Amino acid sequence: MKIKPEILRSKFIGSLLGLAVGDALGMPVEGLTAEEIRLKFGVVKEMISGRLPAGCYTDDTEMMIGVAESLIENRGFNGEDMVKRFIRNFKFWRGYGYGPIKVLEMIKKGVPWEKAAEKLFGGEGSYGNGGAMRIAPVGLLYYDNPEILRSVAYKVARITHANKLGMEGAAIQAYAVALAVMEEPHKTLEVEDFITKVYMFSCDNIFRDKVRLVKQLLEKNSVDKFEVISRLGNSIEAFNSVPTALYSFLANYESFEDAVIYAVNLGGDADTIGAMTGAIAGAYYGVEAIPKRWLDRLEGRPYIESLAERLWMIKHTD
Ligand code: R7I
Ligand code: MG
Ligand code: MG
């Protein structure tokens, strides 16, 4: 389908702001269980303060910004430049995972950027979701080319996440953003078709099994959120959160707001599952679907919007 330039622009902005909004909404409840969230807040649906003031984003968005900046300046992947931006943007208090902190420290001390990530976790590399949480700009820039999308997603993730599961999670998340970009918003989404394409794209058995489970859950009439949490996961590993974000979007695709509220209220890695769901839902709907009350409170909105706009300009003038 040929997408009108104005719609594509709105989808690009919607995806990056959607990511940031999901991150900020989930920030105060990251690490709580769904039950703890329910007892403490009822349902989280407003920007509230937590470790950071209300509306602030965390490492998820900060790293996405580094990815977008670097892709724009280099008109594609440049690892050395991307690493420099990760280091320049890094603020400890955003709440980074252990892996990226270590990798960026090693590189600052002189370890080559291509080598640092593979030293983590006994030489296995990280399978955390830190590659997937920041990958949306890759899904946008290469939405029309799954092969390049996969190879760039692997490279972007690999800077900090050398484990193949960490890289595969990033590729799947980028692909979901790309599929959402290509869908016509406000038409009935072919959920089965969407999830089948993700299944076909997945290269790894752990992810294929999880994506198949997402499909099975979507086929059921009503699914308890505790079943979603126990079967798909809501934790920090890529395979316990990327499929969960996919499910959160597909089970609630009628509304950006509902999808993101659903995602963050699953608890666990709430900011990241919120961010990944928001990136897909925003790419599907466009920025108009994001509640104004969330955008009004979001830190850094004009800058994030300008990055999305510049990514769109690259596509537009290609
Ligand atoms: O993936 P990463 O950047 O963390 C992202 C999370 C998001 O929730 C953000 O919002 C922020 O809060 O952090 O950080 P990593 O340290 O690379 O991976 C996350 C965690 O996954 C690690 O600290 C480990 O607990 C676990 N982990 C592993 N454990 C054992 N063996 C990741 N890889 C391995 C492994 O190979
Ligand atoms: Mg975070
Ligand atoms: Mg998180």
Tell me: the pLDDT tens digits for 239-260?
999 999 999 999 999 999 999 9
State how far the alpha carbon of 292 is from the alpha carbons of 17, 30, 48, 96, 304, in Å. 11, 23, 15, 28, 15
What number is the average pLDDT over the span 280-292?
98
Instruction: Say what percent of the chain tops pLDDT 70.
Output: 100
* C-alpha 273 to ligand 3 mean position (Å): 7
pLDDT number for residue 1: 65
Ligand nearest to the CA of 86: 1
What number is the average pLDDT over the span 196-202?
98
With beta carbons less than 8 A apart as the criterion, state whether 51 and 23 touch.
no
What number is the average pLDDT over the span 262-279?
98
* C-alpha 95 to ligand 2 mean position (Å): 6
Ligand 3 is an ion; its neighbours by CB within 5 Å are 269, 271-272
State how far the alpha carbon of 41 is from the alpha carbons of 28, 45, 307, in Å. 11, 9, 33
Quick: pLDDT tens for 1-31: 689 999 999 999 999 999 999 999 999 999 9
Give 3-state DSSP helix, strand, coil % of the chain, rounded to 5: 70, 0, 30
Instruction: Say what percent of the chain tops pLDDT 90.
Output: 96
Question: Please, where are the H alpha helices in 50-185?
Answer: 59-74, 79-89, 98-108, 113-116, 136-141, 146-158, 164-182
71: left (phi over 0), alpha (psi -120 to 50) or beta: alpha
* Contact partners, residue 11, CB within 8 Å, separation at least 6: 3, 140, 180, 181, 185, 282, 283, 284, 285, 286
Distance CA 295, CA 257 (A): 12
Out of 118, 119, 126, 234, mutate this one to test ligand 1's pocket (max ligand atoms within 8 Å of CB): namely 126
- Enumerate residues lining ligand 1, CB below 6 A: 58-60, 95, 97-100, 121, 124, 126-130, 133, 163, 236-237, 269, 271-272
At residue 215's C-alpha, the angle toward residues 285 and 43, to 5°, is 60
Quick: pLDDT tens for 109-166: 999 999 999 999 999 999 999 999 999 999 999 999 999 999 999 999 999 999 999 9
User: Sorting pLDDT into bands at 50, 70 and 90, what band is 188?
Assistant: confident
The dihedral formed by the CA atoms of 235, 274, 306 and 97, expressed in degrees to the nearest 10: -20
* C-alpha 93 to ligand 2 mean position (Å): 10
Report the predicted TM-score, pTM, of the whole model to 2 decimal places: 0.98
State how far the alpha carbon of 7 is from the alpha carbons of 13, 310, 312, in Å. 10, 15, 11
Q: At what angle do helices 191-201 and 164-182 cross, to 10 degrees?
A: 150
* C-alpha 100 to ligand 1 mean position (Å): 9
With beta carbons less than 8 A apart as the criterion, state whether 14 and 290 touch.
yes
Is 70 exceeded by the pLDDT of residue 182? Answer: yes
With beta carbons less than 8 A apart as the criterion, state whether 71 and 77 touch.
yes
Which H or E element spans position 255? none
Closest residue by CA, ligand 1 atom 33: 126
* C-alpha 60 to ligand 3 mean position (Å): 7
* C-alpha 186 to ligand 2 mean position (Å): 30
Out of 61, 133, 236, mutate this one to test ligand 1's pocket (max ligand atoms within 8 Å of CB): namely 236
Is 70 exceeded by the pLDDT of residue 290? Answer: yes
